[in-house]
Copies of this chain bind each other. A is one copy, B any other.
Amino acid sequence: MSAPAKRMLLNAVIFGLGSHEAGWRMPESNPLASTDLSYWIDIAKRAEAGGFDALFLGDVLALQQGAERHLCDAMDPFVILSALAAVTKRIGLIGTASTSFDHPFHLARRFASLDHISDGRAGWNIVTSSNALEAHNFGLDAMPEHGARYARAQDVTEAVLALWDSWAPDARIADKESGHYLAPDRVHAVHHEGPFVRSAGPLNVPRPPQGRPVLAQAGSSDAGRDFAARHADIVFTVQSALEDAQAFYRDIKQRVAGFGRDPERVLIFPGIVPVARETREAAEQRLAEMNGFAVLDHVVAKLSEFLGSDLSSEDLDAPLPDHVGIGSPNQSSQSRVAVLVGIARRDRLTLRQLLMRLASGRGHLLAVGTGKDIAVTMQHWVENGAADGFNVMCPVMPADLQSFIDLVIPQLPGAAVEGEAKTLRERYGLKLSGGRGR
A→B interface (CB under 8 Å) = 24-25, 27, 29, 31-32, 35-37, 40-41, 60-64, 67-76, 78-87, 101-103, 105-106, 109-110, 112-114, 116-118, 133, 136-139, 172, 174, 176, 179-184, 187, 197-206, 295, 298
Contacts and interface: CB of A to CB of B under 8 A. Distances in A.
A318 B79 CA distance: 51
A71 B179 CA distance: 10
Contact of A75 (B61, B81, B117): B117
The 5 closest A-B pairs by CB, nearest first: A139-B198, A82-B82, A31-B174, A75-B113, A79-B113
Contacts of A136: 200
Contacts of A116: 35-37, 75
Contacts of A72: 181-182, 204
A182 B68 contact: yes
A43 to B, nearest CB: 13
A206 B295 contact: no
A37 B85 contact: yes
A192 to B, nearest CB: 8
Copies of this protein in the complex:
2
A160 B114 CA distance: 25
Given A25-B179, A179-B295, 9 more contacts: A27-B176, A31-B174, A37-B85, A63-B201, A67-B184, A73-B205, A78-B110, A81-B82, A105-B138
Given A101-B106, A176-B31, A197-B139, A117 B184 contact: no
Contact of A204 (B73, B112, B199): B73
A105 B101 CA distance: 10
* Best-buried of A37, A82, A198, A203 by chain B (most CB within 10 Å): A82
Contact of A201 (B110, B137, B197): B137
B204 A60 contact: yes
A264 to B, nearest CB: 31
Contacts of A86: 37, 41, 83-84, 86-87
A60 B133 CA distance: 31
Nearest to A295: B179
Contacts of A184: 67-68
A31 B35 CA distance: 36
A289 to B, nearest CB: 14
Nearest to A182: B68
Contacts of A25: 176, 179
A113 B34 CA distance: 11
B75 A78 contact: no
A197 to B, nearest CB: 6
Nearest to A140: B198
Contacts of A176: 24-25, 27, 29, 31
Nearest to A159: B139
Contacts of A74: 204-205
A78 B80 contact: no
Given A68-B182, A78-B110, A32 B105 contact: no
Contacts of A37: 85-86, 116-118
A195 to B, nearest CB: 12
Contact of A83 (B64, B82, B295): B82
B32 A76 contact: no
A20 B69 CA distance: 54
A135 to B, nearest CB: 9
Given A32-B174, A71-B181, A179-B69, A137 B200 contact: yes
B181 A67 contact: yes
